[in-house]
Amino acid sequence: MVLTDRVYVPSAVEKDGSVVGMGCFSSQETALNVLRSFLKKSHQVEMERASVAAWDVDVVGEDAVTVLSEYECRTCPVCHRTTFWIDIERFKAHCYGSSCSAWIEESSAEVDVINCGWPPTRFAEQVGSVEEAMQTLRRIAAKAESAGTSVTEPSFQTDFE
């Protein structure tokens, strides 16, 4: 078996179908870091999905590419910006908004348990479904907003970034 070199390519797709290429990198970690940096600005452009693909050099055809991770963009249940990215392969969602960082993920320790949280308020909870997690995050955001606090305000900062 011949070993081939591999490059990692992060990209995103805008709502109109335009593809935004972010470069070609020799490590998966670098490609993921570049993609994460881009996702923090995703509220500035209407994005639909993003991915990191591994391309094998000198390989012809569809065997040359392997999609390592795919993400879909949603409106964040907390800050209401389009910075909430869901990892399609293994359910994990994270808001890349500058002050928000709300998250949802399947529990790795317990079956049928979904963990969710909002780090700036040190809020975390376990629920039974993704829908419940979204409702829980909406509820905690509504409480913060009713108290006069909003994560979209520059004065709202977190130590968790």
Q: What is the pLDDT of residues 26-81, one digit of tens each?
A: 999 999 999 999 988 888 888 999 999 999 998 888 889 999 999 999 999 999 99
What ranges in the chain are assigned the alpha helix state H?
28-39, 130-146
Which of 59, 74, 89 finishes a domain?
74
Domain shared by 107 and 126, yes or no: yes
Which of 32, 58, 74 finishes a domain?
74
- The three-class DSSP label of residue 36 is helix
Is residue 26 situated within a structural domain? yes
Structural domain of 108: 75-151
Domain shared by 60 and 99, yes or no: no
Residue 133 CA, chain-centre distance (Å), reads 16
Domain shared by 7 and 46, yes or no: yes
pLDDT in the model for residue 159: 36
CB 82 within 8 A of CB 42: yes
Is residue 161 situated within a structural domain? no
Query: Which residue's structure tokens are 């590419």?
Result: 65
Rg (CA), the chain: 18
b/e per residue 72-98 (b: at least 16 CB within 10 A):
ebeebbbbbbbbbbbeeeeebbbbbbb
Is residue 91 situated within a structural domain? yes
In angstroms, the CA 159 to CA 83 distance is 19
CB 37 within 8 A of CB 2: no
Domain shared by 101 and 123, yes or no: yes
Domain shared by 147 and 82, yes or no: yes
Domain shared by 14 and 70, yes or no: yes
Higher pLDDT pick, 24 / 41: 24
| pLDDT at position 102 over 70 | yes
Q: Which of 76-80, 94-98, 148-152 has the lowest mean pLDDT?
A: 148-152
The total of structural domains in the chain comes to 2
Domain shared by 81 and 69, yes or no: no
